[in-house]
Structure 1
């Protein structure tokens, strides 16, 4: 009898929980203004394919030990070039867009390097991959070139071994 009552109580609790969760989701209201419904979706695909990358300022602050002044210059540099990037025409042919994006990034890169000290510039060059992308250095001891080896677990002695002891 107790198990029947417990099962019924659990079933009722699950039912109430499901109903409460279903009531919480609000339906999406349709566009009331017809001009809102007819607006085209912005062309973001071309922006994805054009090669734009922003400066990974957080990584540079950590890896190069940037001063607060350098950090502020980096933020200003990022925002200035992001505005220039966003000002590019969205309907520009992808080949032309890639060329302009590459020019923007190259100019930005030169300005970025100009604010580094000689030591920071050397570290910055070491953060680059052969393809020119920035990467965080791998910490020693985190990745092993050797395959993982499992040590055998000690087993309990068999009954025959116990008798001989």
Structure 2
């Protein structure tokens, strides 16, 4: 196992090239990111309620950032790096083969998720983390309002 001059050796099975890289990778959030929290707050302020980090379909091992079950709307706020944003993705300089393949797998999984949800009658909304949160929230609210079933008077 490789050992660096400071005595740090990566744990078995780790792709981390250094202790600082490992700390950096561990600090990256998979949910409750700043863009997600901001968009959720704006959507909530419009009176809409939703599930956070929930599986839209019980047999699908993937979660959406926001799920509106009655309207069958799944919302994803994708990070530019991890989901290969055409505007902002920059391939890494170190271990580029591994990370580029990982991002390509993420993009493929995103397309597969979109297709599975669409086939099951769901509407999928995807936003990039750099998009204006106010515009995202307005589009989410408009879509959910349009697709939400009307409540019947008792």
* Fold equivalence (TM over 0.5): no
- TM-score with structure 2 length normalisation? 0.30
Specify which structure has the higher proportion of strand.
2
The alignment's TM-score, normalised by the length of structure 1, stands at 0.29
Considering only CA atoms, is the larger Rg found in Structure 1 or Structure 2?
1
| Larger RCO (CA under 8 A, 6+ residues apart) | 2
Larger helix proportion, structure 1 or 2? Answer: 1
